Amino acid sequence: MENLFNILTGPCLYIAMAVFTIGLIGRFVLYFLGLDWKLDRVAYKAHMGQGLKGGVHSALKWLVPFATHGWRSQPLAAIGFFLLHIGVVLVPIFLLGHNVILQQRLGFSLPTLPQGVADALTILSLVGLAIMLLRRLLLPNVRILTTGQDYFLIVLVLIPLVTGFLAVQGFGDYKALMLCHIISGEVLLVLAPFTKLSHIALYFASRMQIGMDYAIKRGGRTRESGAFFPW
């Protein structure tokens, strides 16, 4: 058992993190290399500065809760989205337990969240995930779009969240929960670049592209807000 844990938090973890990082960086870079000014009809190179302004603004503004017309027009989706994402981004990176492993294995660690905050964020993430699942199940306009992959990804995110949380809280068989937590977490990392979880990187790519489009071609030179489209 000890051996299994060592392998899972050693070589397997390295591989998972390498696939995750290299995979997502690769997708991000390939996205921009694949853009085509003629097919997309956006003069990216000719107006790089203007484009970057609009692109970065477009990616960042949508990260602020209720900052855009889109978020304000769909408050339930916005709440579900932000609850889920704040937790699933912050907790895995800044959790004390994860950073202990980081310190042991790689000799460095990041600042950590107080356990109470991490617990609260995890619960809020679960609430967010539940809202998003309920939207899928109950709203006809979301249900019609939903595919098997969407449910699979919800489960994929749910398992490490729940098992990690239960293990920390001392419910159930600690070792079994941890085993499940580590394996599912690593599967998630490995699959991220190859599924819609690639939006971890491609969100920024796609949002930057539409921001560049509106800044360079669609009114960035004439609109009162210039390169900054009033999202």
Partner 1 sequence: MPEGTLCNRRPITTEEELKALLADKGGATYYKEMEELDVDTEKLWSTLQNSCKTRTRTWLEICARCGMCADSCFLYRVNKNDPKQVPAYKIQTTLGEMIRRKGQVDNAFMRHAMDVAWSQCTCCNRCSQFCPHGIDTGVMISYMRGILFSQGFVPWEMKIGSGMHRVYKAQMDVTDEDWVDTCEWMAEENEEEWPGLEIPVDKEDADIMYTLNAREPKHYPQDVAEAAILFHLAGENWTVPTSGWEQTSLAMFAGDFSECADSVKHVYSAIERLRPKRVIGTECGHAHRATVVEGPYWAGLETGLPPVEYIHYVQWLAECLREGKIKIDPAKKIKEPVTLQDSCNYVRNHGLGRYTREIISYIAEDFREMPDIKEFNWCCGGGGGFNGIGKYRKERNVGLQWKRDQILATGAKIVIAPCHNCWDAIRDLEEEYEIGIKWTFLKPLIIEMAIIPDHLKPAEDEE
**Binding region for partner 1 (CB under 8 A):** 30-31, 33-43, 45-47, 58, 62, 69-70, 73-74, 77, 81, 132, 135, 139-147, 150, 196, 198-199, 202-203, 205-207, 209-211, 213, 216-224, 229-231
CB–CB of 211/229 below 8 Å?
yes
The distance of closest approach from Cβ of residue 130 to partner 1 in the complex, given in angstroms and rounded to an integer, is 15
The distance of closest approach from Cβ of residue 78 to partner 1 in the complex, given in angstroms and rounded to an integer, is 9
What are φ and ψ of residue 222, in 5° steps? -115, -25
Give the amino acid at 224: E
Token reading at 207:
């949002």
Q: Is the CB of 62 or the CB of 109 nearer to partner 1?
A: 62
Q: Is the CB of 130 or the CB of 142 nearer to partner 1?
A: 142
CB–CB of 205/33 below 8 Å?
no
Report the C-alpha gap between 34 and 75 in whole angstroms.
34
The distance of closest approach from Cβ of residue 191 to partner 1 in the complex, given in angstroms and rounded to an integer, is 14
Q: Is the CB of 2 or the CB of 224 nearer to partner 1?
A: 224
Length reported for the chain = 231
Q: Is the CB of 121 or the CB of 227 nearer to partner 1?
A: 227
The counts of H helices and E strands in the chain are 12, 0
The distance of closest approach from Cβ of residue 151 to partner 1 in the complex, given in angstroms and rounded to an integer, is 11
Give the amino acid at 168: V
